C-alpha cells in the first residue's frame, strides 16, 4: 500500500489495518522478524512455480488459528479455501519509498495477530507518526472481518481529517 500511494496527489490518508508500514529497503519478512511473536512461517505451505519461486498458502488446517481466530469457524473455513497466496519473493523484497513519510497515517493494531507481531505493528505506527492508533486487544489478523465497525470508524476518521 505504501509504495502504491507514494507520490499520488489523490491519496490524502493512509489507514493501516493490521499492516506493514515498511521504510525504504525494509521487507515484510525483516519486519516480522524484528520482534518476536509471528508464527506464520510454521503454517505456510509452498507451491513451487516454474520460475523457481513459490506461492505460499497458510495450511487450511491451521488457517483459523493463524489468521482468523476471532472469526466464526464457518467464515474461517471459507477464507481458508479462498485465500490468495503470497509469493515468497514478495515477503523478502525491499520496499520502495514509503508514502507514510509524506501522507498522514492512521493505524489499527490487531492485538492477537499471529502474522505481524503486535510490537512490530506498534513500532511501525509510532515511526510513521500515526495520527491515531487503535488497538483491538483480542483481534486476529482478520480484524477487518471480525471487527468491521472499528475499522470503518478509523477509515471515516482519517477521511474526515484530510478533507
Closest by CA position to 138, among listed 70, 36, 75, 74: 70
Number of domains in the chain: 1
User: Could you read off the pLDDT tens digit of each residue along the chain, which spans 163 residues?
Assistant: 778 888 889 999 999 999 999 999 999 999 999 999 999 999 999 999 999 999 999 999 999 999 999 999 999 999 999 999 999 999 999 999 999 999 999 999 999 999 999 999 999 999 999 999 999 999 999 999 999 999 999 999 999 999 8
Q: Could you give the 3-state DSSP secondary structure of residue 100?
A: helix
Please count the CA atoms within 13 angstroms of the CA of 85 that sit on its side-chain side.
Answer: 15
CATH code of the domain containing 18: 3.40.50.1820
pTM: 0.94
**Cell numbers 472469526 label which residue?**
71
* Domain membership of residue 82 as a residue range: 2-161
Amino acid at each position: 500500500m505504501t509504495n502504491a500511494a507514494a507520490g499520488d496527489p489523490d491519496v490524502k490518508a493512509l489507514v493501516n489495518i493490521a499492516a506493514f508500514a515498511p521504510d525504504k529497503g525494509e521487507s515484510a519478512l525483516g519486519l516480522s522478524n524484528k520482534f518476536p511473536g509471528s508464527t506464520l512461517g510454521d503454517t505456510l505451505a509452498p507451491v513451487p512455480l516454474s520460475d523457481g519461486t513459490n506461492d505460499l498458502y497458510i495450511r487450511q488446517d491451521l488457517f483459523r488459528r493463524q489468521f482468523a481466530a476471532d472469526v466464526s469457524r464457518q467464515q474461517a473455513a471459507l477464507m481458508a479455501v479462498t485465500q490468495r497466496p503470497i509469493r515468497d519473493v514478495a515477503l523478502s523484497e525491499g520496499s520502495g519509498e514509503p508514502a507514510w513519510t509524506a501522507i498522514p497515517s492512521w493505524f489499527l493494531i490487531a492485538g492477537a495477530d499471529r502474522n505481524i507481531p503486535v510490537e512490530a505493528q506498534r513500532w511501525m505506527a509510532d515511526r510513521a507518526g500515526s495520527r491515531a492508533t487503535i488497538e483491538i486487544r483480542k483481534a486476529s489478523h482478520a480484524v477487518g472481518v471480525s471487527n468491521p465497525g472499528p475499522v470503518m470508524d478509523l477509515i471515516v476518521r482519517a477521511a474526515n481529517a484530510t478533507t
